[in-house]
Amino acid sequence: MKAAIISDIHSNLEALQAVIKDIKKRRIKNTFCLGDLVGYGANPNECIEMCIKESKYITVGNHDWATLNKTNIAVFNSVAAQAIRWTQKIIKKSNLNRLKRLPLTHTIDNVLLVHATPRNPTQWNYLFSLNEFEAEFSLFDTQVCFIGHSHIPSAVFQDANGYTDFLRENPFPLIKNRKYIVNAGSVGQPRDLDPRACYAIYDGNNNSIEIVRLDYNIPRAQQKIVEAGLPEILAERLLVGR
């Protein structure tokens, strides 16, 4: 199986279009989405509809749940909460229904898909440190678990002896008797100081994973945010990737 893994689109249509175009150019037939289709950006309806059209499987994210009032926006910062309230005003009922149908996790072949963590996925916890990643490996049985949520691409492996470490090569091979947690980064709002759209390619046929970065029309995405009356910081951060 070969698949593109996309996550954290956050209503950024320009970034999503660039990623989908690249996936098709590479002739990758399967696209899996890890959620947070909405929030922050100016095109929630278009992004939901494109993700539904282009993705074989989609799991739900915390911003999707917040839009459905399944997560209390009081836990969000003021800018994120404002974006959710704006999204709730303009989202189509049909797209709300689409978000309602999204599962928290999905397993296909030897891959687990989840937005935040295998452990208590409804708690929307973040994985940053090696210790945080290490604690998750006993919670899934597949070789690979793909996550998003932090908007920071990364990969951690654990071998049969329990040794755990970050992987720094890209692409990297999948080695027998190792398990992996891979953060696919963010399509629509990267936070690793690289403003380019980010997604991952899982190649189960050749046992490898690659993180891909793509330029997209950031000025257009920024303009839409400002014109929609969303906080300007949401436009500014797209240019610096933070």
Give the model's confidence band at 66: pLDDT under 50 very low, under 70 low, under 90 confident, else very high.
very high
CA 37-43-45 angle, 5° bins: 70
H-helix or E-strand spanning residue 203: strand 197-203
24-48 residue pLDDT tens = 999 999 999 999 999 999 999 999 9
Give me 158's structure tokens: 């654990």
pLDDT at 183: 98
* Short-list 238, 196, 234, CA closest to 18: 196
117-143 residue pLDDT tens = 999 999 999 999 999 999 999 999 999
pLDDT at 239: 97
pLDDT at 186: 98
> What do you get for the CA distance between the two ends of the chain, in Å?
33
Domain of 110, in residue numbers: 2-240
pLDDT at 93: 98
pLDDT at 182: 98
* Residue 178: CATH number of its domain: 3.60.21.10
198-242 residue pLDDT tens = 999 999 999 999 999 999 999 999 999 999 999 999 999 999 999
pLDDT at 203: 98
Distance CA 19, CA 213 (A): 9
Cβ atoms 200, 212 nearer than 8 A: yes
Give me 228's structure tokens: 């929609």
149-184 residue pLDDT tens = 999 999 999 999 999 999 999 999 999 999 999 999
H-helix or E-strand spanning residue 161: none
Distance CA 102, CA 123 (A): 16
Based on the number of CB atoms within 10 Å of its own CB, is 96 exposed (0-12), middle (13-18) or buried (19 or more)?
middle
Distance CA 168, CA 217 (A): 28
Other C-beta atoms lying within 10 Å of the C-beta of residue 193 = 9
Distance CA 204, CA 182 (A): 14
- How many structural domains comprise the chain? 1
